[in-house]
Amino acid sequence: EPEVTQTPSHQVTQMGQEVILRCVPISNHLYFYWYRQILGQKVEFLVSFYNNEISEKSEIFDDQFSVERPDGSNFTLKIRSTKLEDSAMYFCASSLIRAISGNTIYFGEGSWLTVV
Amino acid sequence: GESVGLHLPTLSVQEGDNSIINCAYSNSASDYFIWYKQESGKGPQFIIDIRSNMDKRQGQRVTVLLNKTVKHLSLQIAATQPGDSAVYFCAGFYNQGGKLIFGQGTELSVKP
């Protein structure tokens, strides 16, 4: 079964450093998403991306965050200057079409970011 | 505003019993409601969804009920098994670029 893959699985970084989280969405998918989950809390929407531009972003997705599809396979989330409160599990997701139900969105296993 | 929230943070059941996990939502604009299962260290896994114009949907061992009058959603798991132990999230799907609003999560623990 095709899957969304994410790297790294776990990263520890110093506060103020830049971090890039990488995702390889399912190959024929066109819509890409990032969500995050702070430990013990709910999963929160960050951003959706289609046709090389952001479709929608949440209040969390401020100027320190950016997304990019640098080539035909990767989808990245960059955090420019990490803060302690950025420590969370970051989930990438993708869908073939503009998702109309949860069944059409596939989540990766997550990248656990720890900011120290 | 948009919010989807759960009534109870933890639920412990005996193996073989039925489980009921509840969820309340505040925004009626969701097109779909979805239940996800999340095992430790893994991403959300789709279980079942229901369109906002339905009130019941059944899957394999799972049933989702939607009561729009009181803005309440529930997940029923029949004959709960140890493998069902996980955190369960409800989510509302707002058809704006694939934005899912998740609830807080209920941890289901199944005792053998």
**A62: pLDDT strictly greater than 90:** yes
| Tens digit of each residue's pLDDT (9 = 90 or more) over B61-108 | 999 999 989 999 999 999 999 999 999 999 988 765 568 888 888 999
d(Cα B19, Cα A94) in Å, to the nearest integer?
30
**Among candidate residues B5, B9, B87, the one with its CA nearest the CA of residue B42:** B87
Query: Residue A18 burial by CB count (10 A; 0-12/13-18/19+): exposed, middle or buried?
Result: exposed
Query: Is B93 in CB contact (< 8 Å) with chain A?
Result: yes
Looking at A23-27, A32-36, B8-12, B14-18, which range is the least confident one? Answer: B8-12
Task: Flag if B49 and A103 touch (Cβ within 8 Å).
Answer: yes
% pLDDT > 90, chain A? 78
Task: Flag if B49 and A98 touch (Cβ within 8 Å).
Answer: no
Contact B79, B95 (CB under 8 A): no
pLDDT for residue A98: 75
Name chain B contacts of A93, Cβ cutoff 8 Å: 43, 98
Q: What is the largest CA-CA distance in chain B?
A: 42
Q: Which of B41, B97, B102 is closest, CB to CB, to A43?
A: B102
Query: Is B3 in CB contact (< 8 Å) with chain A?
Result: no
Contact A105, A95 (CB under 8 A): yes
pLDDT interval class at B4 (50, 70, 90): low
pLDDT for residue A68: 95
Q: Which of A42, A103, A110 is closest, CB to CB, to B104?
A: A42
Query: Is B94 in CB contact (< 8 Å) with chain A?
Result: no
d(Cα B76, Cα B35) in Å, to the nearest integer?
11
Task: Flag if A42 and B103 touch (Cβ within 8 Å).
Answer: yes
Task: Cis check for the bond before B112: say yes or no (omega within 30 of 0).
Answer: no
Which residues contact residue B25 at a Cβ distance below 8 angstroms, ignoring those fewer than 6 apart?
Answer: B3, B4, B5, B33, B71, B72, B73, B90, B92, B103
| Tens digit of each residue's pLDDT (9 = 90 or more) over B26-53 | 877 788 899 999 998 888 999 999 998 9
Name chain B contacts of A56, Cβ cutoff 8 Å: 96-99
Task: Flag if A110 and B42 touch (Cβ within 8 Å).
Answer: yes
Q: Which tokens belong to A30?
A: 């066109």
Task: Flag if B42 and A91 touch (Cβ within 8 Å).
Answer: no
